Chain A
Amino acid sequence: MDVSLQILASGLTLGAMYAISTAGLALVFGAMKMLNMSHGAILALGGYLSYFALTGLGLPAPVGITFAVLVCAAVGVVIYHIVARPMLQSDNFETRIFIATIGVGVILESIILEAFGPQPKPQPVSVPGSLMWGGVYLPYQNLMILGVAVLIMAALGFALQKTRIGRAIRATAQNRDAAQLMGVRIGGVYALVLAISGGLAAVSGITISSLSSLLPNMGADPMLKAFIICVVAGLGSVPGSVIAALFIGVFEAVVQYIFGVRFSFALLLILVILVLIWRPHGVFGRVQGVRL
């Protein structure tokens, strides 16, 4: 029983971290058909900005986190205006933006390297201590990550389903031209989507670095996992990606315990292949039509 709880706790923590980093990626793809390869670098930027705000500027944690989220959201808006918008009408937008955002990611990572140096740094946003429950030690940090993930996903779901701007985002995702004819300002929606994605990446960077450390390339692994989760869920499906993230987190933890850590990634990839054979558009994906 102790071990099962320990594995479940580890899996849910992993899944929660994956969910936060995946949601932003799925949102942008769902709305714009844009696979933002700089998502990992924005994630790292968020972690570093939080570090800078707390240790460099001496700001309290809530203010520092808000600062990081706002700056990363602004980076998302800048990416839209400088990189995505000029390509929107071009042929093969999906391919071009894929390549272009790889470049953005490299630039952001280099800026982080120059600004903060290559040495790993501890993330100051952390909750020390742990809770003993059912014979298992649950660190408050892990519980906080789980709580933050639930809150953010609930807020995102509410915003997409129940608010005016959420409807505009979903309408744009369904049919850009029709949404435009209905008076939706497409440019504003896209900029907003990238801003939300940037903000989510910042939160993701802060939570991930609180369980590892800050490194300029820290976004690479979460980006890879987020991409895998998006593919499993169906590119563009936000609720699906959250469910897939939690499932994959628990799957990894179980495989690591039963078969060994080294098998977890390999078995994960086998799972992805099986899913894509079974449902080529992902578990929650659709061939056409509404996403988000």
Chain B
Amino acid sequence: MINKNIYNLLLVFCASVQLNAQQIPAQKQTKSVLILNATAHLGNGKVIENSAIGFKDGKLTLVADATIIRLADNAFDTTINAAGKHVYPGFISPNSTLGLVEIDAVKSSDDEAEIGDFNPNVRSIIAYNSESKVIETVRPNGVLIAQITPRGGRISGTSSVVQLDAWSWSDAILKENDGIHLNFPATFKRGGNWFEPGIIEPNKDYIKQVEEVNTFLINAKAYSGAAPKERNLILEATKGLFDGTQILYVHADEEKQIIDAIQLAKDNGIQKLVVVGGFEAYKSADLLKKNNVGVLLRRVHDMPTSDDEDVNLPYKMAKILTDKGIIVGLENSGDHERMSVRNLPFLAGTCAAFGLDKETALQLITSNTSQLLGIDALCGTLETGKDATLFISEGDALDMRTNQLSTAFIQGREINLETHQTKLNKKFKQKFNQQ
């Protein structure tokens, strides 16, 4: 009986939704918008209970307490009354391969990893498929920005940051070539082969491999200093590391790797360093803090790395690092990583369940990430002057039960929250409705 009522209710609900064509990028903002009376989570730790959020020409022009601010009636073209609802800055998914692979098991749809060891010149942005069906499914959960990152090799390549509503990769760019990704040599490796799986043992080549990276960086730095007679595309691609315009993202989980990576960066005059993964970062927190190195923390919905660890350690990790004064963002690489980008908010929610207060947890996928990616002037918080990349949720967006987006804006453009999945949902609900 209960079921039937819900069923009817749902039918009413879906009949009221328009069947839009999907993935048509929204047009440039022409009319100014004011979102009134929502609880605004600014992404910097602050909350405005009854807020007035306004934006024009893609930029936030007003972030204020609605009970204090006075506005002229015609100050904004459109007003959305969002009383009882919540406004958030768009969530940011760093170290993502969205748009680089469509279907995991289909090799021909995979453009994430180039062959060879040192590929800083390889650029993810040109392979980014802004039409990916996966991308449209992450937006309805609030993920509106992503760092598209190549995989593989020692230096995988150069990433770029995109907003997730664009006709093509060039339209999607928020920050092109934001950084270079180094997969730091592992101190342990798996031995054996397929018929006799081995044990995990110390990597005997670790020192040699670290030296290879060092040699590469020494050469890269030397190259960056003078105008070369003959261009070297590989070395040239790293120039930004030495003048501070690009970030070196070191993918490393182990304590030893992190210590060695920081030393290597220092020795070679690399200006900006971010650790990606960083599962043992808490063990070298002081060093990270001293060197102003932040961490894009490994998927927190992952297993502990050892049987002996607190079973909830991954859930607590963000809290541990935050308490030690490290800037932490959450990344989501691993199994099913593209489709599960939409679960990014719930990674932050889990961190809140295990110790962080909710607004600090929110920072893990907003302001902290934007700071670590060097895009904090553009996005990551609801502050005037920044892009109007934000959304309205019916409730707490970090909790599955209440993460219900009614409206989302990227650079002031109201984006379509439909997907091929919502289309199929409607199609088959209609099928059963007709029966």
Is the pairing of A and B real? no
Residues of A within 8 A of B (CB): none
Residues of B within 8 A of A (CB): none
